């Protein structure tokens, strides 16, 4: 307070020791720094050559391919009622093996999807007796398999060997059911892997073949 | 797991795997190890989607799972690391390297494995053969044996490795250690299974699409000999290759072609004997080097000795002398070479951003460690006012640090020495984070540009699709031109400009990744050694 009257900007230390004088202070900031400040030195141009062009092409192709693979998971989108004419042509460029059959031995047990489809068909009972529910599920899944059975040799699967003993009974039963379906349809389309009414389910593709022309 | 890394990983996941996987992935990156229920609850996605995303992440090695912390009975925990996801930036470089080393076949093998995460050998061979057959002329097809031999060569040179068998995958008694086993800990990590794949690639004809698919499915029914053996790309081996390439090109730039050939020979000879984290290669005698030089380089023995002496005396210290037996024992100092390359990168960054005089000050401080303001002005031969300005600019950008040395315990400014210094390692880390931020910004700008012209892009895509189908069904040229004219000339110009911008941004991403690789290798090498 004593120094207030005379020299307002009086430093508490000897300014010469730092090598700066009062006149060489930078201006006080009036606001945030600009978003795109002008730079004194322009950046060096990119390297351009055969290698770089090739890698660029590789990168763009890889991006396009990975977006079409089944690994690319799209959120649930409302399917438009009427399919636009040109989308039919775009769909033809999709990769054929739409679904992906992972090897379950590499993944933890809990990531296997539970079979919801038979449960949905089992009935609208709120609290069904567990035993009878299992029975109806068994029946329905067997009927499903019989319906879709088109004399393919079942492939040996090593899913059954991996069983966590700590699992609940129900989970085990459902997992077995799943395995049987897996054996049945060791092709691209596993119905229980995806929810009903999804784009990638096998049904929509089958329907496409029989569709009439516009 | 810095904020910049997480942001970049999120963008990469979004581009390659979709939004759902991005959400789950970034959540895992931010929150560490979590079990399934917590992930579902905190991301708010449906159970199915979360499960699928986790499977995709595990398939590509981005996420590891292990039994829970509370013991074998608790639910499995998933954790994810930034490193693996950041490798996605480098995929084009890996594929290109495979192409230069093993031709088109090797390139396609590596590309398939990178796209799918991990695959069996038979699956890869079949897919690659089919793809190669697609591009060949009518009537010719690719034999499986060629593809198998390319695959085996890649495995022999350790570019591909088997996926580690995860013990905790299905069994309840996973009493193994908490750290998941590395692929190297398995003895037959690089052993190719004995199987003879007989067959040729199938060409996919457009008319018989449906039948071909059914045939392909029937083929899969045959028993697979290598069921359960999955292969993945060994990124570390590719990184060693890139590192060697960087050293060789640095020597070529600084000295001449012959010295770079000598260094290349030395590195090639010690490929198998050097461990990845070694500070320097095993000592090689000058006699061995002389014998292993490529036949095209007919330099006489005394000239080779002179070159080696030159390399040893060079201030870059790429090559060091380790003894006198056998005509002189020479080593390549790997860690020191990386440190020097990183230092050169830092210096060039300062030079390009602030000018050559600031770069001079920066190099001075790197050399002399600690200097006072006055000394900087004197040594750099720059007038005081400008030197001050430049120093303060560098200081504000955090490239230069201030070190206080007090004369008295009360740190009075008039009685304290203020010394300027540059610490190479923290500065390198800071620049590495800047690089991550740069790539993230480039990706965002590219997405912004494509979103702006989304309507135009979609229109051009549709027209291309219509054109393709018309051509396939054999239309007349008038119809084709009519369809092509649906895009007006200014629209075409806009499209071309857009393409140019996107190509530039993509190419920039690739090239920033080269700097990222150098800085990352340097930072990782200092983690193990004290150089």
pLDDT attached to residue A18: 61
Q: For B222, which residue in chain A has the nearest alpha carbon?
A: A155
Return the residue in A37, A89, A115, A164 with the most chain B beta carbons within 10 A, the one to mutate for interface testing: A89
The most distant pair of C-alpha atoms in chain A lies apart, rounded to whole Å, by: 103
Contact B228 A103 (CB under 8 A): yes
Return the residue in A71, A119, A197 with the most chain B beta carbons within 10 A, the one to mutate for interface testing: A71
Q: For A74, which residue in chain B has the nearest alpha carbon?
A: B18
B78: closest CA among B68, B86, B87? B68
A with B: how many residue pairs have Cβ under 8 Å apart? 178
pLDDT band at A119 (very low <50, low <70, confident <90, very high): very low
Q: Which long-range contacts (CB under 8 A, 24 or more apart) does A173-182 make?
A: A173/A134, A174/A114, A174/A115, A174/A137, A175/A109, A175/A112, A177/A115, A177/A118, A177/A137, A177/A138, A177/A141, A178/A112, A178/A113, A178/A114, A178/A115, A180/A141, A180/A145, A181/A115, A181/A141, A181/A144, A181/A145, A182/A101, A182/A157
Contact B506 A56 (CB under 8 A): yes
Q: What is the rounded average pLDDT of the residues A84-96?
A: 53
Nearest-CA distance from A67 to chain B in Å?
A: 6
Query: Cα(B419)–Cα(B414) distance, rounded to whole angstroms?
Result: 14
Round the CA-based radius of gyration of chain A to a whole number and report it: 33
Chain B residues with beta carbon closer than 8 angstroms to that of A69: 115-116
Angle between helical axes of B356-368 and B373-380 (0-180°, round to 10): 120
**In the predicted model, what is the mean pLDDT of chain A?**
60
A203: closest CA among A79, A67, A119, A93? A79
Contact B170 A152 (CB under 8 A): no
Return the residue in A35, A39, A42, A106 with the most chain B beta carbons within 10 A, the one to mutate for interface testing: A106
CA A30: distance to chain centroid?
Answer: 46
Query: Cα(B412)–Cα(B438) distance, rounded to whole angstroms?
Result: 41
B499 touches chain A (CB under 8 A): no
Q: Classify residue B143 by its DSSP letter.
A: B
CB within 8 Å of B10: residues ≥ 6 apart: B22, B25, B26, B29
Contact call for residues B78 and B35 (beta carbons, < 8 A):
yes
Chain A residues with beta carbon closer than 8 angstroms to that of B115: 62, 65-66, 69
Q: Which helix H or strand E contains B361, and what residues bound it?
A: helix B356-368
Per the listing, tokens 């000879």 go with B269
Q: What is the pLDDT of residues B230-257, one digit of tens each?
A: 888 989 999 999 999 999 999 999 988 8
Is residue A19 pLDDT above 70, yes or no? no
DSSP A85-136: HHHHHHHHTS-S--S----GGGS-GGGSPP--HHHHHH---SS--HHHHHHH
Length of chain B: 531
CB within 8 Å of A46: residues ≥ 6 apart: A52, B504, B507, B508, B511
Q: What is the pLDDT of residues B135-161, one digit of tens each?
A: 777 667 778 888 888 888 888 888 888
Query: Cα(A137)–Cα(B374) distance, rounded to whole angstroms?
Result: 87
Nearest to A89 among B15, B96, B465 (CB): B465
A20: closest CA among A29, A11, A28? A11
pLDDT attached to residue A25: 67
Chain A residues with beta carbon closer than 8 angstroms to that of B93: 55
Task: Determine how many CB atoms are found less than 10 A away from the CB of residue B36.
Answer: 19
Query: Cα(B137)–Cα(B365) distance, rounded to whole angstroms?
Result: 62
Return the residue in B224, B356, B413 with the most chain A beta carbons within 10 A, the one to mutate for interface testing: B413
SS3 assignment for B282-311: CCEEHHHHHHHCCCCCCCCHHHHHHHHHHH
pLDDT attached to residue B484: 74
Q: For A156, which residue in chain B has the nearest alpha carbon?
A: B223
pLDDT in tens, chain B (531 residues): 899 999 999 999 999 988 888 999 999 999 888 888 888 888 888 888 888 888 888 888 888 887 767 766 777 888 888 889 999 999 999 999 999 999 888 999 999 999 888 888 888 888 888 888 887 776 677 788 888 888 888 888 888 888 877 644 433 333 333 444 566 666 666 766 666 666 665 655 543 344 444 444 444 434 455 667 788 898 999 999 999 999 999 999 998 888 999 999 999 888 878 888 888 888 888 888 888 888 887 888 889 999 999 999 988 889 989 888 888 899 999 999 999 999 999 999 999 999 999 999 999 999 998 999 999 999 999 999 899 989 999 998 899 999 999 998 888 888 888 999 999 999 999 999 999 999 999 999 999 999 988 888 888 888 888 888 888 787 677 777 777 777 788 888 888 999 999 999 999 999 999 999 999 999 999 887 654
Position with higher pLDDT, A76 vs B129: B129
pLDDT attached to residue B502: 93
Structure tokens given for B512: 């920033």
Given strand B284-285, what is the order of strands in its sheet?
Answer: B284-285, B329-332, B319-323
Phi, psi of B315 (to 5 degrees): -65, -15
Return the residue in B37, B50, B52 with the most chain A beta carbons within 10 A, the one to mutate for interface testing: B52
Contact A56 B16 (CB under 8 A): no
Contact B507 A62 (CB under 8 A): no
Chain A residues with beta carbon closer than 8 angstroms to that of B16: 63, 66-67, 72
ipTM of the complex, rounded to two decimals: 0.80
Nearest to A71 among B17, B169, B508 (CB): B17
A55: closest CA among B116, B7, B100? B100
Query: Cα(A102)–Cα(A84) distance, rounded to whole angstroms?
Result: 33
> Between residues 450 and 479 of chain B, which touch chain A (CB distance below 8 Å)?
461-462, 465-466, 468-469
- How far CA B172 is from CA of A173, A210, B50, B175, B238, in Å, comes to 18, 48, 23, 9, 36
Q: For A51, which residue in chain B has the nearest alpha carbon?
A: B96
> Between residues 418 and 437 of chain B, which touch chain A (CB distance below 8 Å)?
418
Contact A90 B462 (CB under 8 A): yes
Contact A187 B217 (CB under 8 A): yes
* DSSP β-bridge partners for residue B333: B280
pLDDT attached to residue A29: 75
Query: Cα(B459)–Cα(B465) distance, rounded to whole angstroms?
Result: 10
Is residue A99 pLDDT above 80, yes or no? no
Contact call for residues B263 and B281 (beta carbons, < 8 A):
no
> Between residues 79 and 118 of chain B, which touch chain A (CB distance below 8 Å)?
91-93, 95-96, 111, 114-117
pLDDT attached to residue A137: 64
Nearest to A20 among B52, B56, B388 (CB): B388
Q: Which helix H or strand E contains A156, and what residues bound it?
A: none
**Is the torsion defined by CA of A66, A67, A73, A79 positive or negative?**
negative
Nearest-CA distance from A87 to chain B in Å?
A: 8
B63 touches chain A (CB under 8 A): no
């Amino acid at each position: 307070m004593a120094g207030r009257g005379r020299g307002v900007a009086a430093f508490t230390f000897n300014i010469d020791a730092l090598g700066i004088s009062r006149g060489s202070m930078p201006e006080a900031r009036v606001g945030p720094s600009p978003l795109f400040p002008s730079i004194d030195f322009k950046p060096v141009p990119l390297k351009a050559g055969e290698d770089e062009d090739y890698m660029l092409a590789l990168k763009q192709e890889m991006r396009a391919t990975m977006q079409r693979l089944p690994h690319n998971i799209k959120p649930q989108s409302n399917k438009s009622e009427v399919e636009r004419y040109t989308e039919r042509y775009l769909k033809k460029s999709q990769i054929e093996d739409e679904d992906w059959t992972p090897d379950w031995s590499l993944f933890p047990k809990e990531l296997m999807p539970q079979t919801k489809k038979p449960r949905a068909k089992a009935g609208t009972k709120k609290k069904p007796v567990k035993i009878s529910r299992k029975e109806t599920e068994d029946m329905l899944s067997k009927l499903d398999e019989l319906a879709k059975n088109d004399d393919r040799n079942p492939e040996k699967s090593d899913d059954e060997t991996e069983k966590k003993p700590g699992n609940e009974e129900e989970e085990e039963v459902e997992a077995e059911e799943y395995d049987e379906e897996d054996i049945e349809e060791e092709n691209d389309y596993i119905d229980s892997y995806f929810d009903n009414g999804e784009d990638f389910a096998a049904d929509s593709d089958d329907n496409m073949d029989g569709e009439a022309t516009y | 797991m810095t904020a910049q890394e997480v942001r970049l990983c999120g963008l990469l996941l979004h581009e390659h795997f979709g939004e759902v996987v991005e959400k789950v992935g970034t959540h895992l990156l931010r929150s560490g190890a979590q079990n399934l229920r917590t992930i579902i609850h905190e991301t708010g996605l449906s159970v199915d989607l979360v499960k699928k995303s986790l499977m995709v992440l595990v398939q590509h090695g981005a996420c590891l799972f292990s039994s829970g912390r509370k013991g074998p009975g608790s639910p499995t925990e998933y954790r994810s690391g930034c490193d693996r996801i950041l490798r996605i930036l480098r995929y084009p470089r890996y594929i290109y390297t495979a192409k230069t080393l093993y031709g088109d076949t090797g390139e396609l093998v590596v590309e398939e494995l990178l796209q799918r995460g991990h695959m069996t050998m038979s699956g890869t061979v079949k897919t690659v053969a089919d793809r190669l057959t697609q591009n060949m002329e009518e009537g010719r097809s690719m034999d499986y044996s060629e593809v198998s031999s390319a695959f085996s060569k890649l495995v022999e040179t350790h570019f591909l490795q088997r996926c580690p068998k995860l013990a905790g995958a299905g069994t309840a008694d996973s009493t193994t250690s908490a750290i998941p086993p590395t692929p190297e800990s398995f003895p037959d990590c690089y052993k190719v299974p004995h199987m003879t794949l007989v067959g040729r690639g199938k060409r996919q004809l457009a008319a018989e699409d449906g039948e071909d698919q059914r045939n392909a499915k029937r083929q899969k029914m045959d028993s697979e000999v290598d069921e359960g053996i999955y292969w993945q790309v060994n990124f570390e081996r590719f990184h060693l290759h890139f590192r060697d390439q960087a050293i060789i090109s640095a020597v070529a730039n600084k000295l001449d072609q012959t010295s770079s050939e000598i260094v290349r020979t030395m590195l090639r000879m010690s490929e198998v004997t050097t461990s990845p984290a070694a500070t320097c290669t095993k000592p090689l005698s000058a006699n061995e080097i002389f014998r292993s030089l490529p036949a095209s380089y007919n330099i006489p023995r005394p000239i080779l000795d002179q070159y080696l002496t030159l390399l040893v005396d060079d201030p870059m210290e790429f090559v060091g002398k380790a003894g006198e037996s056998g005509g002189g024992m020479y080593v390549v100092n790997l860690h020191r070479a990386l440190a020097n390359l990183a230092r050169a990168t830092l210096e060039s960054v300062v030079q390009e951003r602030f000018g050559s005089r600031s770069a001079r000050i920066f190099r001075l401080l790197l050399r002399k460690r600690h200097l006072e303001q006055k000394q900087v002005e004197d040594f750099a031969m720059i007038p005081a006012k400008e030197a001050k300005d430049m120093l303060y600019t560098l200081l504000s950008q955090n490239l230069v640090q201030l070190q206080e040395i007090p004369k008295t315990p009360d740190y009075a400014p008039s009685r304290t020495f203020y010394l300027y210094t540059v610490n190479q390692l923290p500065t390198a880390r800071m620049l590495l984070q800047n690089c991550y931020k740069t790539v993230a910004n480039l990706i965002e700008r590219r997405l912004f540009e494509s979103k702006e012209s989304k309507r135009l892009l979609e229109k051009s895509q549709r027209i291309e699709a219509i054109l393709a189908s018309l051509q396939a069904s054999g239309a007349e040229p008038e119809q084709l031109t009519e369809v092509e004219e649906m895009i007006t000339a200014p629209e075409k110009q806009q499209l071309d400009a857009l393409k140019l911008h996107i190509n530039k941004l993509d190419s920039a991403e690739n090239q920033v990744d080269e700097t990222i690789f150098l800085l990352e290798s340097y930072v990782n090498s200092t983690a193990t050694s004290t150089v």
